[in-house]
Amino acid sequence: MKAFVAAALIWATPAAAQSYHDIVAAAEGFNGIALVAKGRHVEMIESVGSADAERGIPVTPTTRFETGSVSKWVASIVVLKLVDQKKLDLDAPVSRYLPDYRADTGARLTLRRLMSHSSGLPNEILKARQADPAIRGVEREQMDAVRTYASGDLAFEPGTAWDYSHSNWLVVKAVVERVSGLPYARLIDRLLVRPLGLKDSGIYRGDSAQTAGMAVGYAKLGPAPERKPNPTPDFLAMAGGYYTSAPDMLKLMEAVLGGTFLSAASRKALLTVEMPDQHYALGGRVRVEPVGGHPRELAWNDGSNGGFRMVARRVLADGHSVIVFNNASYDHRKLGELASKLLDASYAPRLAQ
């Protein structure tokens, strides 16, 4: 039997709240949290199941979750804040910021190409981790990681094709840390966490279960829970090292997509699709999909790592948003379907207040 914890503050009518609850309750095997909002107003937030099954700790509205590849979208926001501060240029050659990087490719690569996975830089970190799982979680100094995993010959001319390569983000992180003079975790705190008043967000390293307030990632729950950690070394923090809670994720989405946290030019850059066949912009996707019976343009972000899965969607025109986290290896397709049903429900006529 599922254990549900409803949020204390919701803006939905009782009928709408029941509709949301029924949708979450029907998602067999779901363990995590679901949030629906209109702009900054939370319509529903519902927690289901265990954050830490062995210790009997339930999921609550402030439970922290790994975001997986949504870390790339967060990293793009950090880069664009530095662009707004005139410290970075999306279209300058990487060699301007990393003169010690491989000279021939450094002159051809830009942050825009790296952040849209259109650089041609091969995913050597993935190949290395697949060949030797023992290196997962092994720390390296950032430029050492760049030289080892992100300095290969380009697979194609930058901007001509798309390849989802974690190695891109090793170079971006090296640039950001070199220009700012700060470790990425401290930069996240300075540029995002403190200005936005985020209470449950930051960068973890290694096994995220060692971070206070974090959910544990599981391969399965049940009578004998099986953990599924996938340690993230600090040099991969931009690719998958960000953690947050559902309310904090909403606050970030509202500030960036519905507010003035970024300049108009940087917000446009974040949402401009660079690779149309993949709907890929900078660090995330922008798609037009049917929502509530009409085609709508959405910021579209998905992430996974170890036992964690997440989906975040926001309709750009009016701020209808859904955020769903799971920490028990829930099928990502089913998680997307759950998110879609909740977002559709936010447009149902019975929600008029």
| pLDDT tens per residue, range 55-66 | 999 999 999 999
CATH 3.10.180.10 fits 72-180, yes or no: no
In this prediction, residue 10 has a pLDDT band, given cuts at 50, 70 and 90, of low
pLDDT at 117 over 80: yes
pTM (2 d.p.): 0.95
In this prediction, residue 12 has a pLDDT band, given cuts at 50, 70 and 90, of confident
For the chain, strand residue ranges (E) read: 4-6, 32-38, 41-48, 50-52, 57-58, 65-66, 202-203, 218-220, 226-227, 242-244, 285-291, 294-305, 308-315, 320-326
Which tokens sit at 85? 């501060």
pLDDT at 1 over 60: no
Please tell me the predicted confidence (pLDDT) of residue 243.
98
Please tell me the predicted confidence (pLDDT) of residue 9.
46
In CATH terms, the fold of domain 1-65+209-231+290-353 is: Beta-Lactamase (3.30.450)
The CA dihedral of 114, 116, 122, 124, to the nearest 10 degrees, is 80
- Decide: helix, strand or coil at residue 28: coil
What would the pLDDT profile of 288-339 be if each residue is shown by its tens digit?
A: 999 999 999 999 999 999 999 999 999 999 999 999 999 999 999 999 999 9
Helix-strand-coil split of the chain, %, nearest 5: 40, 20, 40
pLDDT at 342 over 70: yes
Averaged confidence pLDDT in the chain: 95
For residues 121 and 127, give the distance between their C-alpha atoms in angstroms, rounded to a whole number.
13
What would the pLDDT profile of 213-265 be if each residue is shown by its tens digit?
A: 999 999 999 899 999 999 999 999 999 999 999 999 999 999 999 999 999 99
**Residues comprising the chain, all counted:** 353
**What burial class does residue 217 get, using C-beta atoms within 10 Å of its C-beta: 0-12 exposed, 13-18 middle, 19+ buried?**
buried
pLDDT > 70 in the chain, percent? 96
pLDDT > 90 in the chain, percent? 91
Alpha-helix residue ranges (DSSP H) falling in 137-263: 142-149, 167-180, 184-188, 194-196, 237-240, 246-257
Decide if 324 contacts 70 (C-beta within 8 A): no
Mean pLDDT of 159-166: 97
Residues of the chain with CATH 3.40.710.10: 72-180
CA nearest neighbour of 140 among 125, 155, 154, 158 = 125
Please tell me the predicted confidence (pLDDT) of residue 350.
58
Backbone angles phi, psi at 294, to 5 degrees: -140, 150
For residues 85 and 14, give the distance between their C-alpha atoms in angstroms, rounded to a whole number.
45
pLDDT at 201 over 60: yes
